[in-house]
Amino acid sequence: MELTSHLASQSFPTLPTYDFAASLDKTETQAARQTVGNPFLENPRMTCRDVAVFYGEKEAIRGINIDVGCNEVLAMIGPSGCGKSTLLRCLNRMNDTVPGCRVEGEICLDGENIYDPSVDVVPLRARVGMVFQKPNPFPKSIFDNVAYGPKIHGFTTDKAELDNIVETSLIKAGLWEEVKDRLQEPGTGLSGGQQQRLCIARAIAVSPEVILMDEPCSALDPIATAKIEELIAELREQFSIVIVTHAMQQASRVSQRTAYFHLGDLIEVGPTERIFTNPRHRLTEDYITGRFG
């Protein structure tokens, strides 16, 4: 009796198989840790400097420094709750809609701090588009889904030009051949993979500079995933892409650089090939070899 109650009160650390806390120095867990690898680029599209995000009192990410290059795919990987999606949502200020969310530090798009009070969030989001985890076509026709962005931003009032934008966007998203005969049918009637490509077409239609993708294939089957991955490779020629993914195979297939996040810290960043063949930090190695995560 005595012994068992003693054991119970001494409760063991949270994870029996792999103990994160023990692997970190005590000072390390409190302050932001030095990132392994060079997060900076010569000619970046976006830059993050000392970015920290709080949800209420809780610090979700801290001291993040990372650049997003032009015409590159940056993959962000890491276990759930590591802050990769939080950082992604900071890049077009989608975190503004989350109550109690506070962002510190500086995030620049083409040298301009997007968190500066003078910056209007509406044109910013037109420049930094986003594709979500679950396909979320509007309950409108396929045409109206793609035309939505151009219409609200007043890109054109000319019907022919709008048709042109819709067609180009759908072609770029690799969906045109499948839907060209049924543009007036509802977007929600498409298959999951088609819906996600429709969402990509919708994002492309406002001609952004950066496209953020938050686990864009996690709700799709392997064939639809392969199509989206091909599409990402093509889109890189025109846009900068930041993709959050849980599938490490996917990160290694589609990205040029990979960043590994762990419990709110950016642990390691570098060329994708190097990260996956020769990780320098033990946490990165453990994660990509599947020892946890």
Partner 1 sequence: MIYSFLLLIILLLGASAYFLGTARAVAVSQQTGGMRSLHSLPSHYGALTALGCVLPALIIYALWQIAEPMILTSMIKGNLPAEMLKLSANEFGLVLNDIRNMVAGNTLSGTGNPAVMAAAEQYISLQTSAGRIVSMVILVTMCVSAATIYSRIDIHLRARNIVEGLIKIAIIACSAVAIFTTIGIVLSVLFEAIRFFKIIPLQDFILGLTWSPQTAIRADQVGSSGAFGAVPIFVGTTLIALIAMAVAIPIGLLSAIYLSEYAHPKFRATAKPLMEILAGIPTVVYGFFAALTVAPFIRDLGMSVHLDVSSESALAAGLVMGIMIIPFVSSLSEDVLHAVPQSLRDGSLALGATQFETVKNVVVPAALPGIVGGILLAVSRAIGETMIVVMAAGLSANLTFNPLETVTTVTVQIVTLLVGDQEFDSPKTLAAFALGLVLFFFTLCLNIIAIRVVQKYREQYE
Q: Round to whole Å and give the CA distance between 288 and 102.
A: 31
Burial of 67 (0-12, 13-18, 19+ CB in 10 A): buried
> Of 134 and 246, which CB lies nearer to partner 1 in the complex structure?
134
Alpha-carbon distances of 96 from 77, 92, 101, 103, 281, rounded to whole Å:
23, 9, 7, 9, 33
Rule CB under 8 A: which of 201-260 touch partner 1?
A: 202-203, 206
DSSP state of 95: G
| Backbone phi, psi, residue 153, to 5° | -90, 0
- Please report whether residue 152 would count as binding partner 1 according to CB under 8 A: yes
- Please report whether residue 140 would count as binding partner 1 according to CB under 8 A: yes
CB 81 → partner 1: shortest distance, Å? 20
Instruction: Let me know: does 43 contact 263? Beta carbons within 8 Å.
Output: no
- Please report whether residue 124 would count as binding partner 1 according to CB under 8 A: yes
Alpha helices in the chain (DSSP H): 2-9, 20-23, 26-30, 84-90, 121-127, 142-152, 159-172, 176-179, 192-204, 222-235, 248-254, 272-277, 282-288
Alpha-carbon distances of 236 from 6, 70, 147, 233, rounded to whole Å:
59, 9, 22, 5
> Of 100 and 222, which CB lies nearer to partner 1 in the complex structure?
100
> Of 13 and 139, which CB lies nearer to partner 1 in the complex structure?
139
Q: Which of 55, 115, 138, 176 binds partner 1 (CB under 8 A)?
A: 138
Instruction: Let me know: does 72 contact 54? Beta carbons within 8 Å.
Output: no
- Please report whether residue 136 would count as binding partner 1 according to CB under 8 A: yes
Q: Which stretch binds partner 1 (CB under 8 A): 9-17, 73-81, 149-157, 261-269?
A: 149-157
> Of 47 and 145, which CB lies nearer to partner 1 in the complex structure?
145
- Please report whether residue 157 would count as binding partner 1 according to CB under 8 A: no
CB 139 → partner 1: shortest distance, Å? 5
Q: Which of 13, 16, 117, 139 binds partner 1 (CB under 8 A)?
A: 139
CB 234 → partner 1: shortest distance, Å? 21
Q: Which stretch binds partner 1 (CB under 8 A): 28-36, 147-155, 262-270, 277-285?
A: 147-155
DSSP state of 82: S
> Of 36 and 162, which CB lies nearer to partner 1 in the complex structure?
162
Two tokens, residue 11:
């409760």
> Of 55 and 138, which CB lies nearer to partner 1 in the complex structure?
138
> Of 24 and 219, which CB lies nearer to partner 1 in the complex structure?
219
Residue 274: count other Cβ atoms within 10 Å of its Cβ: 14
Q: Round to whole Å and give the CA distance between 222 and 228.
A: 10
Q: Round to whole Å and give the CA distance between 130 and 213.
A: 6
CB 287 → partner 1: shortest distance, Å? 28
Q: Which stretch binds partner 1 (CB under 8 A): 90-98, 166-174, 228-236, 268-276?
A: 90-98
Site residues (vs partner 1, CB under 8 A):
92, 94, 97, 99, 122-126, 129-130, 132, 134, 136-140, 148-149, 152-153, 188, 199, 202-203, 206
